[in-house]
Structure 1
Amino acid sequence: MITIYGMRASGNCYKLQLLLDQLGRHYRWIDVDSAGGATRKPEFLAKNPNGKVPLLELEDGRRLAESDAILCYLADGTPFWPGDAWLRAQTLQWLFFEQYSHEPCIAVARFIRGWLPAGHPRQADVPALIERGKAVLGVMEKHLDGREWFVGERYGLADIALFAYTHCAGDGGFDLSAYPNILAWLDRVRAQPGHSPMQA
Structure 2
Amino acid sequence: MTPDPVTVHGMSTSGNCHKVRLLLEQLGRPYTWIEVDSANGGTRTPGYLAKNPNGKVPMLERGDGAILVESNAILCWLADGTSLLPPDAWQRAQALSWLFFEQYSHEPYIAVARFICGWTPLDSPRRADLPRLHERGAQALAVMEKHLEQADWFTGAAYGVADIALFAYTHCADDGGFDLSTYPRITDWLARVCATPGFVPMPGVSDDVAARLASS
TM bracket, shorter-chain basis = over 0.9
CA distance, structure 2, for counterparts of residue 6 and residue 146 of structure 1: 35
Match of 1:84? 88
Question: Hey, what does 2:213 align to over in structure 1?
Answer: none
- Shift of residue 150 of structure 1? 1.1
Q: CA deviation at 1:65?
A: 0.5
CA RMSD of aligned residues (A): 0.7
- CA distance in 1 between partners of 2:86 and 2:150 (Å): 21
TM-score, normalised by the number of residues in structure 1? 0.99
Show the counterpart of 2:210.
none
Counterparts of 1:43 and 1:152 in 2: how far apart (Å)? 40
Distance 1:153 1:71 in 2: 18
> What does 1:129-148 align with in structure 2 at a 5 Å threshold?
129-148=133-152
Which of 146, 171, 174 is equivalent to 2:178?
Answer: 174
Deviation at 1:153, TM superposition (A): 1.1
> Is 2:52 aligned against 1:44?
no
Q: Out of 10, 25, 41, which is 1:6 matched to?
A: 10
Percent identity between matched residues is: 67
Q: What residue is the counterpart of 1:121 in the other structure?
A: 125
The answer on 1:29 being equivalent to 2:62 is no
The one of 94, 100, 110 equivalent to 1:106 is 110
**Residues 95, 156 of structure 2: 8 Å contact kept:** no
- Mapped to 1, the partners of 2:186 and 2:203 lie a distance apart of 22
Look up the match of 1:60.
64
Quick one: distance in 2 between partners of 1:77 and 1:33?
Answer: 32
* 2:149 alignment partner, SS class: coil
Letter in 2 for 1:83: P
State the distance in 2 between where 1:31 and 1:151 align: 29
Superposed structure 1 runs of 4+ greater than 3 Å apart: none
Which AA in structure 1 matches 2:44? R
The answer to whether the 8 Å contact 2:11/2:36 transfers is yes
Distance 1:151 1:34 in 2: 29
- Return the alpha-carbon distance in structure 1 between the equivalents of residues 203 and 160 of structure 2: 21
TM-score, normalised to structure 2's length? 0.91
- Take 1:116 and 1:97, find their aligned partners in 2: how far apart are those partners? 26
User: In 1, are the aligned partners of 2:23 and 2:75 still within 8 Å (CA)?
Assistant: yes
Gapped regions of structure 1 (runs ≥ 5): none
CA contact (8 A) 2:13 2:202 kept: yes
Report the Cα offset of residue 151 of structure 1. Answer: 3.0
Looking at structure 2, the residues matched to 90 and 35 of structure 1 have their Cα atoms a distance apart, in angstroms, of 33
